[in-house]
Structure 1
Amino acid sequence: MTEEQAKELLQKYLDEQASPQEQKKVEEWYATLQVKDVVVPADRKAAIGAQMFAQLQVAMRRKLTIGSVFKLGSFIRVAAAVLLMVTVGVVIWKLNSEIPSENQITVINSATQQKRIILPDGSVVLLGPSAKLCYPKIFASNSRQIELEEGEAFFNITHQEKRPFTVHTSAGVNISVLGTSFKIKSYQASKQLEVAVVTGKVAVSNPKGELGTLVKDESLTYDKNNGRTAIRKSKTSAVIKFAFDGATLDQVVTKLQYVYSIKILLSDSALSKLKTTASFSSTQSPEEILDILCSLHHLRFNASKNHKSFKIYR
């Protein structure tokens, strides 16, 4: 049964036109509202209350028909109960999957500044003002999925090759990564959604298929009305720092490959075990970082013509 059908049934109940079976159904719905485990999120209470009050006023002003089996007090009581179900019960019924369960956390940033959130895997989200984010307390073993329901957020995702990270949006657009940093603007009132990549690579898609793949300093704009996308160069002001404290050269290379969407080959497997302690940032080019790494270990490197592939050797 759809929300519209449910509202029609509740209205029939209020108008004394519901069959015995329909009356029983409404009473069962009302009974479910008494379950203590049902919780309406705080951000919805004001809107629900205002809607219920307005609808109740309309119902109370309705003219009672002559010969009605209801007295005024009974009518108001029933109207209040039924309208409560329309504004609260149906909302809960429709949005049940959106109400945070024991394993879900919903954050709404009511401040005027960004709010820093650390996800269960160590990934960091900078949530913009008025933005809303939902994520599980514990990620699944084979995936990491969260939802940006409203607003703007910057994501710095911890690299986990066996657990892809996906951000779902209210526009039906999904952003999938393994380990990278990017920004999403997804306002329900805006006709456009925007994704901008600071480091790494992301795949943007919707139910119809892939919309585009973005790498460092690229952004994608998606028009919700016509489904059109546009990809352009768009360097962001965000700076990502990444530090290594005794990491192996193999670990450093893996990180750099995802940050810059490049390929780095070690000519000798023995090189992979070399320990590295250093700090870098996304403002540095791959060549600059590789030059420092090679200097630390007395190595050399060369680059392909397109500067997308590198080889480190003795």
Structure 2
Amino acid sequence: MKKDNRLKRLSPRQKQMLDDDLMHLLDKYMEGNLSAEERRAVEQRVDEAHQQLNDNTLSDKEVEKSVKRLLRNVAGRMNIEIFLHRKSTSLSWIQYGGIAAAIALIVVISLPLLKNNEANQAASPELIEQTAIVQQFITDSNMKKITLADGSVVHLNMGTTLSLHKGKFNGQIREVWLEEGEAFFEVTKDTHRPFIVHTADGLSTRVLGTSFNIKAYRELGEQVVSVKTGQVQVSRESGGKVVLEANNKVSFDNGTGSLTSGLTDGSAAADWRTGNIVMDEAGLKEIALRLKQYYNVEIINDAHITTDQKVFFAFTTNTELKDVARALADIYKTQYRISNNKLILIK
């Protein structure tokens, strides 16, 4: 059996051609949110389709071609692949008086099969290949600015990894994975293609066109999304979401899975791009991370400062280490000394 080319997702033009109500039901079906009433509505659509059996305005060949195209579209919506014979058997048993009727039948009949197919392929080589990383941007002790295919700009802080997965960033979909670190996103507006950033522990940030910062260093045990402009929706895979406007933030606790929102300075949160390091409600872990990044020193907490004590701390990267150390000691009301790439805080 020969295989057709890899499926493509629906283009905006194709979406406009499909029945809006039906596509809405399709989306809800894939999310598992189809109510009994909505399910009955879909079944009614199928009944209406059957009533048109004797009113065939398309030839068998035309119907077959349309059915195949629509079946591919449905599969594309579900981000899976199906394959059809190039010389397929006749589909003359599906004879309808219009494309809308064919869509209704395909959606109802094919979705359960496609969803089962998706589950059965969970560990298949084809699915693994489809979700494979095709491009990755990594920074170590440097920063990087990249421009994605849609024109969106991403600034990567030090110690950051950003990945693009196969089939997940193209003309129909925009998804990236911030595997580790921190990035500031300036997203090109596209109302047909939300821009989604996936981070650890099932957190995702969804926007249409805006600018925002995500801090997701694993060693900090939390992720913080801060919005500079526009609107951002942050959601957990396990459920629960929060919508943020400009100068708002949300913190996600990697351990408990809790979301905590609050006010912030969206511009200041991303000022690391220009050498201004601003830490709002920062614990000693975050401060230690920043000093390691910019001064290559390790903080030794001989003053027994509680790590969950939150403070505001800021410095510019051209400030000498001794001046940063003095300011930090003043905040915590401790003494300090610097020795062998160690900043030791003492009582």
Q: State if a TM-score over 0.5 links the two structures.
A: no
Q: Which has the larger radius of gyration?
A: 1
TM-score, normalised by the number of residues in structure 2: 0.38
Q: Greater share of strand residues, 1 or 2?
A: 1
Q: TM-score, normalised by structure 1?
A: 0.42
